[in-house]
Amino acid sequence: MKQLLVVLAAGLFALVGANASLIPCSMGSVTSVVAGNSASPAFTCGTLTFDNFQVVGADGGAIGTVDINGASYDSVSGAVSLNLNPNLESSEDEGFLFEVTGGVTELDLALGGTDATVTERACSSPIPTTGPTAFLCPTGSMLGTVSDFSNDPSAPVFSANFASTSPIYIFKDIETGNGGPASVVGSGQLSELDQSFEVGGTVPEPVSLVLLGSGLLGLGLLRRRARKN
């Protein structure tokens, strides 16, 4: 009987693990953020809500559009990932702002492209877009900052007391051919930027919860029967 209980328990945990997956999130009909356009996607993915996207300061011939190609969340960790296309060609520059509500513990960046650099700030207060402090965190609101470049093998991570700060405000300074480790004037392009947001806790999906509950109930009944025998 003990061997049967062990086999059932192993099968239960295998089933729960098998149901962990990346689940796409619906972002509605607006998936591009255009400089000077007030239309902005607002969507919830996992336990996080994203809102108030803006493209600012497009320079060097940049078209001033960032496409949100997709969003997904991990059904076990609750981490959310965004896939972005900044649409930058050689020696172009733009800023990208948005806010995240729901409690984030860690931010990860990963860039594709060629000779591209992103410098990112996370703040606990809204980030100004005009004046002498434009695109800087207001005094006392800096949560963290990080820089990354194309195909960096040590993708940077930064974390702070994000979980108790909600919403957090993000600013990305995205540029090509202007400061990477192998920067060459007139070079560079960036059409893919991935960012993940860790939430600091597990979020079991409904199917896993049902499997877990059913398995525990079955184990309890078998143990009870074994004691009676």
Work out the angle between the directed axes of helices 2-18 and 206-228 (0-180°, nearest 10): 180
pTM of the model: 0.76
Average pLDDT over residues 118-147: 91
The answer to whether residue 184 sits within a structural domain is: yes
Q: Which domain holds residue 85?
A: 19-202
The answer to whether residue 99 sits within a structural domain is: yes
Give 92-115 pLDDT, tens digit per residue: 999 999 999 998 888 888 888 888
The answer to whether residue 2 sits within a structural domain is: no
Q: Are 208 and 17 in contact (CB under 8 A)?
A: no
The answer to whether residue 35 sits within a structural domain is: yes
- pLDDT score, position 201: 53
Q: What is the DSSP string of 24-36?
A: E----S--EEETT
- pLDDT score, position 146: 85
Whichever domain contains 103, its CATH number is: 2.60.120
Number of domains in the chain: 1
The answer to whether residue 47 sits within a structural domain is: yes
Give 158-209 pLDDT, tens digit per residue: 765 576 788 999 999 999 986 545 545 557 899 999 999 988 654 444 444 4
Tally helices (H) and strands (E) across the chain. 2, 13
Give 139-169 pLDDT, tens digit per residue: 999 988 888 888 877 766 776 557 678 899 9
- pLDDT score, position 13: 46
The answer to whether residue 9 sits within a structural domain is: no
The answer to whether residue 213 sits within a structural domain is: no
Query: Strand, coil or helix: what is 188?
Result: coil
For the CA atoms of 173, 68, 190, 124, the dihedral, rounded to the nearest 10 degrees, stands at 20
The answer to whether residue 100 sits within a structural domain is: yes
Name residues whose C-beta falls within 8 Å of residue 143's C-beta, 6 or more positions apart in sequence: 122, 123, 124, 137, 160, 161, 162, 165, 168
Look-up of token digits 């300061």? 57
Mode of pairing for the β-strands spanning 168-176 and 116-123: antiparallel
- pLDDT score, position 108: 87
Give 54-90 pLDDT, tens digit per residue: 999 999 999 999 999 999 999 888 899 999 999 999 9
- pLDDT score, position 207: 45
Q: Are 46 and 54 in contact (CB under 8 A)?
A: no
Q: Percentage of the chain surpassing pLDDT 70?
A: 69
